[in-house]
């Protein structure tokens, strides 16, 4: 069931260097979109990812206190709050959107977060089918 | 500035439900400053509308524009070529902009994308508080610049109601009692006697009680 799921990962370019091959254990169609900074990720980018077919969108930014630009990571988290409210208003579960603070350049932690997110979306889809 | 807040998206979607080509029109005036109707909010609402309509199986074309102001006919002139191209307009301007579009373009179906809330100040990032009610007859020269019409829940004119505790309003405990603030400030200045002058009942006609308000400046008109 998981192979059909499309996930979009919007992340700061400096958060991690992981590529699709590092995420081979995640049986989903993954689209990784990199931004110059987490603070550059807009609500429209998140909504567009859903419109382009993603069933789950995961926003990753650098751990607190490590953003190159000061507070770009915190801004990313706030954008996720705003986007989740909009998703709820238009009938999409806000759980389809997650935010993670990821240690810089630690691909392993990033991969674990993507795996956790995939499991969450998979569980939600199974529950939706059961309704 | 005029403070506004985006209307619930389901209400906006309901208004434009019959249409397949709409314009989301922002304003770079007050609503842009209060993050309700500027370029960024136009882009977000347009994307949300597209996403919602695609999920309904009724895709829609959304044109995005933001004008310098929507409360001036000269800026709304730019709308003339857009009106025939769309079936409806969602304006993210305050009610002034929506009304002026409706006045100038009677054939355009224009719907509000924001609720116009109040005149307020941006006290910290992401928070706006009412400071003026536009009542048309300022009395803040007597109250140390603090307005009891906008900032007192009971609009009292001659001192506090007696219900405030610890300097907090009894109606809104998260707000300071403005009369407490006025008295403390005048006391510090040694001007408390200013409040001995009784303010008569307020004439609400300049606040709109006498119908539509119009201001004319003869040297310009």
> How far does the CA of residue B107 sit from the closest CA of chain A (Å)?
29
Residues with Cβ within 8 Å of B95's Cβ and at least 6 positions away in sequence, in order, are B112, B116
Is residue A39 predicted with pLDDT exceeding 70? yes
> How far does the CA of residue A103 sit from the closest CA of chain B (Å)?
28
Helix B39-55, helix A72-89: angle, nearest 10: 40
Q: State how far the Cα of A124 lies from the Cα of B184, in Å rounded to an integer.
A: 57
Does residue B184 or residue A18 have the better pLDDT? B184
Residue A81: band (very low, low, confident or very high) from pLDDT cuts 50, 70, 90: very high
User: What residue of A is the nearest CA neighbor of B49?
Assistant: A90
Short-list A11, A23, A9, CA closest to A108: A23
Cα–Cα separations (whole angstroms), residue A60 to A5, A14, A55? 19, 10, 17
What are the residues facing A100 on neighbouring strands?
Answer: A60
Q: Are B45 and B75 in contact (CB under 8 A)?
A: no
B51/A89 CB distance under 8 A:
no
Mutation target among B7, B12, B44 for the A interface, most CBs of A within 10 A: B44
The H or E element that residue B182 is part of is: helix B178-189
User: What residue of A is the nearest CA neighbor of B55?
Assistant: A51
- Residue in A43, A50, A91 closest to B44 by CB: A43
A13-17, B40-44, B47-51, B53-57: least confidently modelled range: A13-17
Q: Are B67 and B31 in contact (CB under 8 A)?
A: no
H helix intervals, A67-106: 72-89
B55/A92 CB distance under 8 A:
yes
A44/B54 CB distance under 8 A:
no
Q: Both tokens of residue A70? A: 């000061």
Give pTM, 2 decimals: 0.93
Section A57-80 average pLDDT = 94
Q: What integer pLDDT is reported at residue B25 of this predicted model?
A: 98
- Residue in A44, A82, A89 closest to B47 by CB: A44
Section B12-23 average pLDDT = 98
What are the residues facing B121 on neighbouring strands?
Answer: B129
- Residue in A48, A91, A92 closest to B47 by CB: A48
Question: Domain spanning A2-130: which superfamily?
Answer: Lumazine/riboflavin synthase (3.40.50.960)
Q: What integer pLDDT is reported at residue B9 of this predicted model?
A: 98
Is residue B198 predicted with pLDDT exceeding 90? yes
Q: What integer pLDDT is reported at residue A110 of this predicted model?
A: 84
Q: With a CB-CB cutoff of 8 Å, which residues 34-63 of chain B face chain A?
A: 40, 43-44, 47-48, 50-52, 54-55
Residue A3: band (very low, low, confident or very high) from pLDDT cuts 50, 70, 90: low
A89/B43 CB distance under 8 A:
no
Q: State how far the Cα of B42 lies from the Cα of B68, in Å rounded to an integer.
A: 13
Greatest alpha-carbon span in chain A: 45
> How far does the CA of residue B190 sit from the closest CA of chain A (Å)?
45
Number of residues that make up chain B: 221
Chain centre distance of CA A16: 13
Domain ranges of chain A: 2-130
Query: Given the DSSP bridges, would you call strands A97-102 and A29-35 parallel, antiparallel or unpaired?
Result: unpaired
pLDDT in tens, B108-150: 999 999 999 999 999 999 999 999 999 999 999 999 999 999 9
B9/A47 CB distance under 8 A:
no
Cα–Cα separations (whole angstroms), residue A34 to A48, A96, A121, B50? 14, 19, 21, 23
> How far does the CA of residue A94 sit from the closest CA of chain B (Å)?
14
Residue A78: band (very low, low, confident or very high) from pLDDT cuts 50, 70, 90: very high
Is residue A45 predicted with pLDDT exceeding 60? yes
Q: Both tokens of residue B191? A: 């001007």
Q: What integer pLDDT is reported at residue B64 of this predicted model?
A: 98
pLDDT in tens, B151-197: 999 999 999 999 999 999 999 999 999 999 999 999 999 999 999 99
Short-list A101, A111, A106, CA closest to A22: A111
Residue-wise burial string across B43-53, b where 16 or more C-beta atoms lie within 10 A, e elsewhere: bbbbbbbbbbb
Is residue A1 predicted with pLDDT exceeding 60? no
Handedness of CA B83, B84, B85, B89 (dihedral sign): positive
Q: State how far the Cα of B12 lies from the Cα of B92, in Å rounded to an integer.
A: 11
pLDDT in tens, A97-118: 999 998 887 778 888 888 888 9
Short-list B19, B140, B159, B167, CA closest to B90: B19
Residue-wise burial string across A96-106, b where 16 or more C-beta atoms lie within 10 A, e elsewhere: bbbbbbbebee
Q: What integer pLDDT is reported at residue A59 of this predicted model?
A: 95
What are the residues facing B62 on neighbouring strands?
Answer: B22
Residue A15: band (very low, low, confident or very high) from pLDDT cuts 50, 70, 90: confident
Would you call B9 an interface residue with chain A, using a CB distance cutoff of 8 Å? Answer: yes
Q: State how far the Cα of A45 lies from the Cα of B195, in Å rounded to an integer.
A: 56
B13/A43 CB distance under 8 A:
no
Q: Are A13 and A34 in contact (CB under 8 A)?
A: yes
The H or E element that residue B116 is part of is: strand B114-124
């Amino acid at each position: 069931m998981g192979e059909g799921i499309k996930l979009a990962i919007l992340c700061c370019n400096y958060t991690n260097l992981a590529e699709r091959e590092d995420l081979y254990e995640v049986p989903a169609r993954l689209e990784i979109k990199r931004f110059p900074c987490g603070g550059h990720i807009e609500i429209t980018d998140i909504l567009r990812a859903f419109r382009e077919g993603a069933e789950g969108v995961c926003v990753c930014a650098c751990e607190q206190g490590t953003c190159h630009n000061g507070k770009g990571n915190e801004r990313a988290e706030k954008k996720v709050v705003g986007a989740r409210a909009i998703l709820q208003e238009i009938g999409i579960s806000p759980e389809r959107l997650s935010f993670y603070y990821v240690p810089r350049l630690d691909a392993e932690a990033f991969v674990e977060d993507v795996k956790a997110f995939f499991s969450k979306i998979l569980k939600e889809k199974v529950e939706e089918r059961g309704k | 500035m005029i403070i506004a807040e985006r209307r619930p998206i389901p209400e906006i979607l309901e208004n434009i439900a019959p249409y397949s080509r709409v314009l989301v029109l922002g304003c770079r005036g007050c609503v842009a400053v209060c993050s309700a109707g500027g370029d960024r909010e136009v882009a977000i609402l347009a994307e949300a509308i597209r996403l919602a309509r695609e999920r309904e199986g009724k895709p829609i074309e959304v044109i995005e524009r933001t004008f310098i102001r929507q409360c001036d006919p000269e800026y709304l002139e730019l709308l003339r070529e857009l009106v025939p191209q769309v079936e409806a307009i969602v304006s993210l301007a305050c009610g002034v902009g929506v009304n002026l579009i409706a006045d100038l373009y009677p054939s355009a179906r224009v719907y509000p994308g924001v609720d116009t809330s109040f005149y307020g100040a941006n006290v910290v990032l992401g928070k706006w508080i009412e400071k003026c009610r536009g009542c048309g007859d300022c009395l803040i020269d007597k109250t140390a610049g603090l307005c009891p019409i906008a900032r007192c829940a009971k609009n009292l004119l001659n001192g506090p109601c007696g219900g405030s505790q610890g300097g907090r309003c009894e109606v809104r405990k998260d707000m300071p009692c403005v009369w407490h603030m006025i008295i403390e400030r005048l006391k510090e200045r040694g001007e408390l006697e200013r409040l001995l002058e009784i303010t008569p009942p307020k004439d609400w006609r300049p606040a709109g009680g006498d119908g539509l308000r119009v201001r004319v400046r003869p040297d310009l008109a």
